[in-house]
Amino acid sequence: MAQPEDAFKAVISHAKEYGFIFQSSEIYDGLSAVYDYGQNGVMLKNNLKSYWWRSMVQLQENIVGLDSAIFMHPSVWKASGHVDAFNDPLIDNKDSKKRYRADVLVEDHVEKLKQKADKEVAKAAKRFGESFDAEMYRSTNPRVMGYLSKAKDVMDQFVACLEAEDLEGVKQVIIDAGIKCPVSGSDKWTDVRQFNLMFGTKMGSVAEGAVDLYLRPETAQGIFVNFLNVQKTGRMKIPFGIAQIGKAFRNEIVARQFIFRMREFEQMEMQFFVKPGTEMEWYNHWKQVRLQWHLAMGLSEDNYRFHDHDKMAHYANAAADIEFQFPFGFKELEGIHSRTDFDLKSHEEHSGKKLRVFDPETKENYVPYVVETSVGLDRLFLSVLSESLVEEPLEKGGNRTLLKLPYALAPTQAAILPLLKKDGLPELARQLMKDLTFDYQMAYDEKDAIGKRYRRHDAIGTPLCFTVDHQSLEDGTVTMRDRDSMSQERIPSSDLGLHIKQQCGMESLLKKL
Ligand code: ATP
């Protein structure tokens, strides 16, 4: 099996070679952590958006959509806490001159300790065979307990320092834990500083009168400030949700790992407004619903896990991540947060406007609590792309590069391929294609030998290829080739649309939810 770094490199180069993702402004040597989606990337991205939107809005009676502006009144970010608290602690290594997020350094260290404990348990399981009790071993073996208690101590101390805003303490935790720079191997660290992640800009034609604005660092606030507009005009009753897909911007300290951490990215967020006291019920509900949504795509279940937070954001009373096993390890893909009434209350205070709903039972107005689901579209894209890319050995020898995307998400749903560029085959192929393009994203391809064309479509994940040959002229049938099994069968050309719909329609995915 390929090493994880090699697998990740293969994903990045495949994304470029096949028109999924390009570095932004590449001809000017690129702009760091900003990416463009190419001809296939934009289709896959749009399909992911559509899967999310249809499952969250179209299929839910009590969730509606919104598209709020990127620019917002600057007071929004004061009220949300972003001006004062949307900081990451950064630290530099004096030898390598590399900059790190202190929390990431600590989390990686803790994860390594946990992995060491897991390795000990796995070794013991091999040694003791069937009678082995892993839980018992974890709580009694001194070495395993040592690793786990060290991991817990480091994390507890770190969280305590962050909560007390003790940045010297954070540095001390890093030094005491013996955390070294992954590049230089040295432990010569600078002091820890807080760094605000919001991008500032100005609005206005003259410098003196210009207003300082921020590019939004999350889409959620656009939902909160429109909460009453939507509730009243949509006659929405608690519990209900507002969903939005849109760009967000963060001046990330360490932007790397391709589209995992970008400075401009896209979020798909849903804020669900509930009665205070019912939030944990809804929080657990949405945790399960969102995990199921990811699993329905059919990628390996082992790649997903929950991570419940020890350290909560300033607004949350419960928080979990759905983590995905990217080629560089398990990392956050989606966040599910119980945000209490923090945001709405704070906007009430800063705006002087009431953001309340009427409770017909108690006859009182109250500020609802909020449960949020927030998934990064680009991270979702990376999860699907990295898991789908495989090198598959062929029976006849050699390999094929296959992008095993879920059929409903593939950039192109089906390709029409005339076997030869003559004898009326291209004309028939184009005629079949013409009808289907109204409903599906089709590709027409007549260049190169048929085997080569199949490979090209395997590499971009096209689920079905229809080949038009001489028999098609005689009896109106074509060959349908399935991407994953490579099996071929003859079908009437009048059934092409039906096959595409059955196998590649978004409905098949949505019905699994
Ligand atoms: P991280 O801890 O990785 O910085 P976060 O906890 O700050 O992420 P949230 O504020 O919860 O992230 O944002 C919700 C989702 O938005 C994340 O789960 C992630 O998928 C996505 N996201 C956040 N920051 C970025 C980024 N810089 N690039 C791409 N996606 C991002």
How many Å apart are CA 402 and CA 117, to the nearest integer? 36
- CA–centroid distance, residue 188 to ligand 1 (Å): 29
Task: Encode pLDDT of 171-181 as tens digits.
Answer: 999 999 999 99
Listed residues 138, 164, 196: the one ending a domain: 196
Q: Is 453 in the pocket of ligand 1 (CB under 6 A)?
A: no
Q: What pLDDT is stored for residue 2 in this prediction? A: 60
Q: How many CA atoms lie within 13 A of 486 on its CB side?
A: 13
Q: What pLDDT is stored for residue 427 in this prediction? A: 97
Q: What pLDDT is stored for residue 129 in this prediction? A: 86
311 and 421 together in one domain: no
Q: Taking all residues of the chain, what is their mean pLDDT, rounded to a whole number?
A: 94
Q: What pLDDT is stored for residue 23 in this prediction? A: 96
Q: Which residues pair with 271 in a beta bridge?
A: 242, 372
Which CATH number is 145's domain given? 3.30.40.230
Count of other CB atoms within 10 angstroms of residue 100: 25
- Nearest-CA residue for atom 25 of ligand 1: 261
Q: Which residue has the higher pLDDT, 313 or 247?
A: 247
Cis omega (within 30 of 0) for bond into 182: no
User: Does residue 231 sit within a domain?
Assistant: yes
Which CATH number is 481's domain given? 3.40.50.800
Task: Calculate helix-pair angle for 142-163, 167-176, nearest 10 degrees.
Answer: 160
Q: String of b and e for 121-158 (b: at least 16 CB within 10 Å)?
A: beebeeeeeeeeeeeebbeebeebeebbebbeebbebb
- Nearest-CA residue for atom 20 of ligand 1: 376
- CA–centroid distance, residue 373 to ligand 1 (Å): 12
Q: Is 337 in the pocket of ligand 1 (CB under 6 A)?
A: no
pTM of the model: 0.87
Count of other CB atoms within 10 angstroms of residue 187: 15
Span 6-29, average pLDDT:
96
473-478: which pairs have CB atoms within 8 A and are 24 or more residues apart? 473/423, 473/424, 473/425, 473/428, 478/432
275 and 346 together in one domain: yes
- Nearest-CA residue for atom 24 of ligand 1: 261
Q: What pLDDT is stored for residue 327 in this prediction? A: 94
How many Å apart are CA 153 and CA 177, to the nearest integer? 10
C-beta separation of 66 from 230 below 8 A:
yes
- CA–centroid distance, residue 88 to ligand 1 (Å): 13
Task: Encode pLDDT of 330-384 as tens digits.
Answer: 999 999 999 999 999 999 999 999 999 999 889 999 999 999 999 999 999 999 9
Spatial CB neighbours of 498, under 8 Å, sequence gap ≥ 6: none
Which CATH number is 248's domain given? 3.30.930.10
Q: How many CA atoms lie within 13 A of 30 on its CB side?
A: 9
Tokens encoding 303: 């790649």
User: Does residue 60 sit within a domain?
Assistant: yes
Task: Encode pLDDT of 409-450 as tens digits.
Answer: 999 999 999 999 999 999 999 999 998 999 999 999 999 999
244 and 316 together in one domain: yes
Span 142-152, average pLDDT:
94
Pocket test for ligand 1, best of 304, 379, 383 (most atoms within 8 A of CB): 379
C-beta separation of 165 from 192 below 8 A:
no
C-beta separation of 274 from 368 below 8 A:
yes
Judged by DSSP in three states, 230 sits in helix
Q: Which residue has the tokens 């390795």?
A: 119
Burial of 27 (0-12, 13-18, 19+ CB in 10 A): exposed
Q: Which residue has the higher pLDDT, 99 or 290?
A: 290
- Where do the H-state alpha helices sit in 352-418? 377-388
Q: Counting atoms of ligand 1 from 1, which one is nearest the CA of 374?
A: 14
User: Does residue 434 sit within a domain?
Assistant: yes
376 and 402 together in one domain: no
Residue 453: give the domain boundaries.
Answer: 397-510
Q: What pLDDT is stored for residue 159 in this prediction? A: 87
- CA–centroid distance, residue 247 to ligand 1 (Å): 12
Q: Counting atoms of ligand 1 from 1, which one is nearest the CA of 269?
A: 14
127 and 207 together in one domain: no
